[in-house]
């Protein structure tokens, strides 16, 4: 049992409760999303006391050093006094440059940051609708090529943040985002390694960034991007990706549609994972990136591993839906 | 000075070489795959790595009690001798694939055997 202080009020935290549990039980509006220690939406800072190491997993070293932690997986050993992150250190203000329709249910949001942001294509940020509500979105932009941060946002049924983005967010609005984080990105080295990128829906965003980043960094091995959608109208950026494939011999783009017949021969019929594995039966030595639907990501992790990809060469980002 | 089994097998590097092969084998083995089919594959692979380090006679701090506690949830799901045997079999096959001699493989199997009762909660 430990004491937890927030905004001059002290609560007790039992062994089985997280900081997030306690604060939510007392209606303290702490933003949260995946509740699994992945999305970092519930980032908080301990101003007194030290958060346990397990609650700092995946945080940047600079944030760890300032006693930032994730409330959803923090079972405090010590008494803690905590606050929400300050704008400027863990959160920054950006301006909406553009909101553009990509498909019937996905928009691209471009964000302009005054201060230069250090990030890698494929990492993600949390976009705040207000101080207590945020969602994670992957970065489709490449720092060296794109002037703005670019996110692909799918309209989630009853999604509070995605509805706001689709229907209300507009050019010149100011919004808050977290610093970019995540380890699903292209690391330089091994330029000849074959790369397989598999994504569903807006899982294309990080893959589009990663593929262009790899090409820009001089990757010479094959880069195969498989994008899957249930229906034909869910495929997007098809022209951009085809142009990229025409321009770069080592880059292939394979759009896949699973739930309706397709006559266009340049589009594969079938589930994206099945198509990708049918085309490439052995993946020993490959680097694999998997993004989008959590069930697809889970199945793909296992199947690509079983067909030979080394565990350390499999990078993934499952888009877990928030409640 | 005589080398330990862990050193003879090649130490940490041998564990690293074996872990993906071994994990792939157990995930593909219908007799036991359910016990290894975790959502978090990285975490599961890390567990296999600790297991292999122990089985190779490497440095570890496992007590019999840890073994019991760590496997109790699997015992309640039906983990028994046949599953234990299947794991040891997959480990032996992994080592064969890495060209480890039969003599060392037998030593590894004997080391695994010392944990059987604790793992199965007997």
Task: Give the whole-angstrom CA distance, residue A306 versus residue A225.
Answer: 20
Task: Give the whole-angstrom CA distance, residue A47 versus residue A6.
Answer: 10
The counts of H helices and E strands in chain B are 8, 0
Phi then psi dihedrals of residue A48, to 5 deg: -135, 140
Between A274-283, A307-316, B34-43, the lowest mean confidence (pLDDT) is in B34-43
pLDDT in tens, A89-107: 678 999 999 999 999 999 9
- Work out the average pLDDT over A17-36: 90
Q: How far is B75 from chain A (nearest CA, A)?
A: 24
Task: Give the whole-angstrom CA distance, residue B69 versus residue A76.
Answer: 23
Question: Are A311 and B28 in contact (CB < 8 Å)?
Answer: no
**CA-nearest residue of chain B to A294?**
B39
Which one of A298, A301, A306 has the shortest CB-CB distance to B24? A306
Which one of B19, B24, B41 has the shortest CB-CB distance to A301? B41
The predicted structure's pLDDT at residue B12: 85
Question: Are A305 and B20 in contact (CB < 8 Å)?
Answer: yes
Own/partner contacts of A242-249, CB < 8 Å, gap of 24 or more, are: A242/A266, A244/A211, A244/A212, A244/A215, A248/A215, A248/A223
B19 touches chain A (CB under 8 A): yes
B43 touches chain A (CB under 8 A): no
- Work out the average pLDDT over A250-267: 95
A283: closest CA among A194, A212, A204?
A194
Task: Give the whole-angstrom CA distance, residue B5 versus residue B10.
Answer: 9
Burial of A161 (0-12, 13-18, 19+ CB in 10 A): buried
Mean pLDDT by 10 residues, chain B (122 residues): 81 89 94 84 82 87 82 93 96 94 94 93 91
Between A60 and A161, where is the model more confident? A161
Q: Which two tokens stand for residue A156?
A: 């989630």
Residues 6 or more apart from A98 whose CB is under 8 A from it? A108, A109, A110, A148, A171
pLDDT in tens, A38-47: 888 899 999 9
A241: closest CA among A263, A210, A280, A218?
A210
A110: closest CA among A118, A101, A119?
A101
ipTM of model? 0.84
Q: In the sheet where A268-269 sits, what is the strand order? A: A268-269, A251-257, A223-229, A195-200, A287-292, A314-318
The predicted structure's pLDDT at residue B43: 77
Find chain A residues with C-beta within 8 A of B20's C-beta: 305, 310-311
Find chain B residues with C-beta within 8 A of A297's C-beta: none
CA angle B4, B6, B7 (to 5 degrees): 70
Which one of B20, B41, B42 has the shortest CB-CB distance to A302? B41
pLDDT in tens, B30-60: 999 998 887 678 778 878 888 898 889 888 7
- Candidates A311, A312, A313: best to mutate against B (most CBs of B within 10 A) is A311
pLDDT in tens, A107-163: 999 999 998 888 999 999 999 999 889 999 999 999 999 999 999 999 999 999 999
Element (H, E) at B23: helix B11-28
Q: Give the model's confidence band at A323: pLDDT under 50 very low, under 70 low, under 90 confident, else very high.
A: low
Q: How far is A306 from chain B (nearest CA, A)?
A: 6
Q: What pTM does this model have?
A: 0.83
The predicted structure's pLDDT at residue A87: 63
Question: Are B27 and A310 in contact (CB < 8 Å)?
Answer: no
Find chain A residues with C-beta within 8 A of B37's C-beta: 302
Which one of A301, A302, A310 has the shortest CB-CB distance to B20? A310
Q: Which two tokens stand for residue A247?
A: 């321009």
**CA-nearest residue of chain A to B42?**
A311
A310 touches chain B (CB under 8 A): yes
| Mean pLDDT over each residue of chain A, to the nearest integer | 93
Structure-token match 């920054």, residue found: A92
A173, A153 Cβ separation under 8 angstroms: no
> How many A/B residue pairs have CB atoms within 8 Å?
21
Kindly provide the residue ranges of all beta strands, DSSP E only, lying in chain A, ordered along the sequence: 2-6, 9-13, 43-48, 68-70, 80-83, 91-101, 106-112, 124-130, 133-138, 149-154, 174-178, 195-200, 223-229, 251-257, 268-269, 287-292, 314-318
A276, A254 Cβ separation under 8 angstroms: yes
Residues 6 or more apart from A32 whose CB is under 8 A from it? A20, A24, A41, A42, A71, A72, A322
The predicted structure's pLDDT at residue A88: 59
Q: How many residues does chain A have?
A: 323
The predicted structure's pLDDT at residue B63: 79
Beta bridge partners of A229: A257
Which one of B28, B37, B45 has the shortest CB-CB distance to A311? B45
Between A131 and A75, where is the model more confident? A75
Longest dimension (CA), chain B: 45
Q: Is the pLDDT of residue A321 over 90?
A: no
Q: How far is A303 from chain B (nearest CA, A)?
A: 10
The predicted structure's pLDDT at residue B19: 92
Between B115 and A322, where is the model more confident? B115
């Amino acid at each position: 049992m430990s004491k937890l202080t927030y905004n001059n009020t002290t609560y007790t935290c039992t062994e089985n409760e997280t900081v997030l549990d306690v604060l939510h039980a007392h209606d303290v509006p702490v933003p949260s999303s995946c509740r699994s220690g992945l999305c970092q939406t519930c980032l908080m800072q301990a101003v007194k006391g030290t958060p346990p190491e397990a609650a700092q997993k995946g945080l940047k070293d600079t944030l760890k050093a300032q006693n930032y932690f994730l409330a959803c997986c923090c079972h405090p050993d010590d008494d803690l006094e905590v606050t929400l992150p300050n704008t400027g250190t863990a959160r920054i203000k950006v301006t909406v440059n553009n909101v553009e329709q990509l498909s019937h249910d996905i928009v691209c949001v471009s964000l302009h940051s005054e201060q230069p942001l250090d990030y890698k294509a494929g990492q993600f940020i949390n976009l705040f609708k207000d101080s207590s509500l945020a969602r994670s979105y992957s970065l489709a932009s490449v720092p060296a090529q794109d002037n703005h941060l670019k996110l692909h946002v799918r309209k989630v049924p009853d999604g509070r943040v995605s509805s706001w983005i689709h229907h209300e967010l507009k050019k010149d609005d100011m919004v808050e985002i977290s610093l970019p984080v995540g380890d699903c990105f292209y690391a330089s080295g091994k330029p000849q390694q074959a790369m397989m990128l598999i994504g569903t829906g807006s899982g294309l965003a990080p893959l589009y960034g990663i593929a262009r980043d790899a090409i820009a960094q001089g990757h010479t091995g094959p880069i195969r991007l498989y994008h899957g959608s249930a229906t034909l109208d869910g495929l997007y950026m098809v022209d951009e990706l085809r142009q990229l494939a025409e321009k770069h011999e080592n880059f292939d783009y394979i759009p896949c549609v699973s739930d309706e017949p397709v006559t266009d021969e340049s589009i594969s019929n079938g589930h994206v994972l099945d198509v990708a594995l049918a085309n490439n039966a052995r993946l020993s030595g490959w680097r694999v990136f998997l993004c989008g639907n959590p069930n697809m990501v889970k199945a793909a992790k296992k199947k690509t591993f079983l067909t030979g990809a080394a565990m350390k060469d499999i990078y993934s980002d499952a888009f877990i839906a928030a409640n | 000075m005589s080398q330990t089994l862990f050193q003879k097998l090649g130490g940490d590097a041998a564990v690293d070489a074996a872990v993906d092969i071994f994990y792939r084998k157990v995930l593909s083995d219908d007799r036991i795959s359910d016990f290894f089919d975790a959502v978090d594959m990285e975490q599961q692979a890390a567990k296999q790595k600790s297991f292999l380090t122990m089985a190779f006679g490497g440095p570890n701090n496992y007590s019999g009690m840890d073994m019991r506690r760590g496997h109790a949830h699997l015992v309640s799901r039906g983990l028994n001798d046949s599953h234990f045997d299947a794991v040891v079999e997959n480990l032996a096959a992994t080592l064969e694939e890495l060209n480890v001699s039969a003599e060392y493989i037998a030593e590894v199997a004997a080391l695994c055997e010392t944990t059987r009762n604790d793992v199965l909660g007997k």
